[in-house]
Amino acid sequence: MEALGRLEDLPEDYRVELAARNLVPLWPSLRAVLPPGVPARRTQAICWPYADIRPLLLQAGELTPIEKAERRVLVLANPGHGLEKMQASASIYLGMQLLLPGEWAPAHRHTPNAVRMIVEGEGAYTTVAGEKCVMSRGDLILTPTGLWHEHGHEGENPVVWLDVLDLPLLYYLEASYVTEGRAQTVANTAAERAYQRGGVVPSPLFARGAKPFPMLRYPWVEVRAALCALADSQPEIEAVQLAYINPETGADCQAILGYSALLLRPGETLALPARSPALVMHQIEGGTEVAIADQRFTLAEADTCCAPGYVGVTLANRSSEQPAFLFLADESPLHKKLGIYETRA
Ligand code: GTQ
C-alpha cells in the first residue's frame, strides 16, 4: 500500500488557511481511519481480579455514603481507552457496584441498556418497571433502555454485582441521559417464572405477550441446570453455551450487547474464533486460563477480563474434575445490526 502525503508536506500558510475554515485534508489521516485488513483498536486485553476490586469497593462503602454516590460503583476501565473514558471496550462499560444492608439506590431510568450479574451476597433486589427482581449470585437481571430501576437491600451482608452497560456507545452517539424518579410501587414479582420452560411461552386467550422486554431476571439455578443438561445430553457439541434471549422473539435479550453463559467441561480447552466484536468474560464458578493473542490471564471466581475484537480467545478449564462457568458479554447484536459482524478462521 502506497505511502500518502503527510500534513508536513503541505505549506504552512495553506494549512493555516484550511484550519481557519474548519477544513482538514483527508490523505494524511486516510490510513489511520481506514487501516488495511484489521481495524485499529484501543481496547487492550485486560484482567480485573476480584481480589483487587473487593477491598477497595468495601472501602468505598466506608468513604462514601450511598446518598453521596447514588450508585456506588468502581468502574473497570480499559487503559487502552484512557481510564477517564470509563470504557472496557468501544461499546461496553463495566462497573462493580456495592450495596450495603439497608441502603437504597434511588429510582431512575436512562437511555443506555444495563444488565447486572450478581457476584456476592444475598438479600438485595432491583425493582425494574415495577417488578421486584431478587439478586442471587450468578443471576442476570436486565435493566433495558427506558425502564425505571432502583436497588434495595434487606439482607445482612454487603451485596456486589457487575454492571454491564452500552453507555460508551450511547455517550458517543450523544444520546445518553437519565431521568430521576420516585420510589416505584412493586406490582408483581418473579415474572421470569412465566418463561421457565424453553419452547413454551404464556398465550392467554390465544394472545401473546407484547412487552418488548418480557423477561427481566434469568436465575442462575435455571441457567446452570440448563448448561449441565446440555453438556450431558450433547457430549459432541462444540461449546456448551447458552444465549440469554427474549423468550417471546428468540432474539438477543437486548439490542446492542449480547449475553451468554458458557460451561467448560472438566479439562476442556475451547478456542473461540477471532470475531469482530470485543468480548468480556466473567468467572461465575471455577477457574479458567484465558489466552488472548499473546496475553495470558488466570480467572478465579468473580474475576473479569476483556478481549478486543478480531483476535482469537482460548479458554481452558483449570480443573480436570469440575466444570467451570463463565458469563460472556459482547457487542455482537450491534455488529450484526450494522452489518459489520465477522468471524475469521
Ligand atoms: O445501577 O443504575 O454502573 O445508572 C452505572 C450507571 C449502574 C445503575 C452503573 C447506572 C447504574
Provide the whole-model pTM. Answer: 0.97
Atom of ligand 1 nearest to the CA of 97: 3
Whole-number Å distance, alpha carbon 305 to ligand 1 midpoint, is 19
AA identity, residue 170: L
What's residue 332's pLDDT?
98
Is the CB of residue 199 less than 8 Å from the CB of residue 250? Answer: no
What's residue 208's pLDDT?
93
Q: Is residue 13 part of a domain?
A: no
Whole-number Å distance, alpha carbon 113 to ligand 1 midpoint, is 10
In angstroms, the Cα distances linking 288 to 98, 258, 283, 309, 311 are 25, 21, 8, 20, 18
Q: How many domains does the chain have?
A: 1
Q: Is residue 190 part of a domain?
A: yes
**Atom 6 of ligand 1 has which residue's CA nearest to it?**
71
- 3-state class of 327 per DSSP? strand
Q: Is residue 246 part of a domain?
A: yes
| 301 vs 161: CA distance, rounded Å | 13
Whole-number Å distance, alpha carbon 205 to ligand 1 midpoint, is 38
| pLDDT tens digit at each of 345 positions of the chain | 889 999 999 999 999 999 999 999 999 999 999 999 999 999 999 999 999 999 999 999 999 999 999 999 999 999 999 999 999 999 999 999 999 999 999 999 999 999 999 999 999 999 999 999 999 999 999 999 999 999 999 999 999 999 999 999 999 999 999 999 999 888 866 677 788 888 899 999 999 988 999 999 999 999 999 999 999 999 999 999 999 999 999 999 999 999 999 999 999 999 999 999 999 999 999 999 999 999 999 999 999 999 999 999 999 999 999 999 999 999 999 999 999 999 998
CA atoms within 13 Å, Cβ hemisphere of 1: 9
Whole-number Å distance, alpha carbon 147 to ligand 1 midpoint, is 12
Q: Is residue 19 part of a domain?
A: no
Atom of ligand 1 nearest to the CA of 116: 1
Is the CB of residue 302 less than 8 Å from the CB of residue 119? Answer: yes
- Which residue among 163, 166, 169 has the greatest number of ligand 1 atoms within 8 angstroms of its CB, and so is best to mutate? 163
Q: Is residue 139 part of a domain?
A: yes
- Which residue among 165, 167, 176, 179 has the greatest number of ligand 1 atoms within 8 angstroms of its CB, and so is best to mutate? 165
What's residue 322's pLDDT?
98
Residue pointed to by grid coordinates 490471564 = 297
Is the CB of residue 73 less than 8 Å from the CB of residue 114? Answer: no
Provide CB contacts within 8 A for 312, sequence distance 6+: 271, 272, 273, 274, 293
Is the CB of residue 70 less than 8 Å from the CB of residue 151? Answer: no
Is the CB of residue 263 less than 8 Å from the CB of residue 231? Answer: yes
- Paired strand residues for 269: 316
What's residue 189's pLDDT?
67
Atom of ligand 1 nearest to the CA of 126: 1
Residues with CB under 6 A from ligand 1: 71, 73, 95, 97, 110, 114, 149, 163, 165
Q: Is residue 16 part of a domain?
A: no
Residue 252 DSSP code: B
DSSP per residue, 80-141:
GG-GGG--SSSS-EEEEEEE-TT-EEEEEEESS-EEEEEEE-SSEEEEETTEEEE--TT-EE
Where residue 119 sits, what CATH number does that domain have?
2.60.120.10
Q: Is residue 314 part of a domain?
A: yes
- Which residue among 48, 71, 160 has the greatest number of ligand 1 atoms within 8 angstroms of its CB, and so is best to mutate? 71
Q: Is residue 182 part of a domain?
A: yes
- Which residue among 57, 72, 73 has the greatest number of ligand 1 atoms within 8 angstroms of its CB, and so is best to mutate? 73
Is the CB of residue 329 less than 8 Å from the CB of residue 259? Answer: yes
Enclosing domain of residue 239 = 46-196+215-344
Whole-number Å distance, alpha carbon 163 to ligand 1 midpoint, is 7
What element of type H or E holds 165?
Answer: strand 159-165
Question: What does DSSP say about strands 188-189 and 131-134: parallel, antiparallel, or unpaired?
Answer: parallel
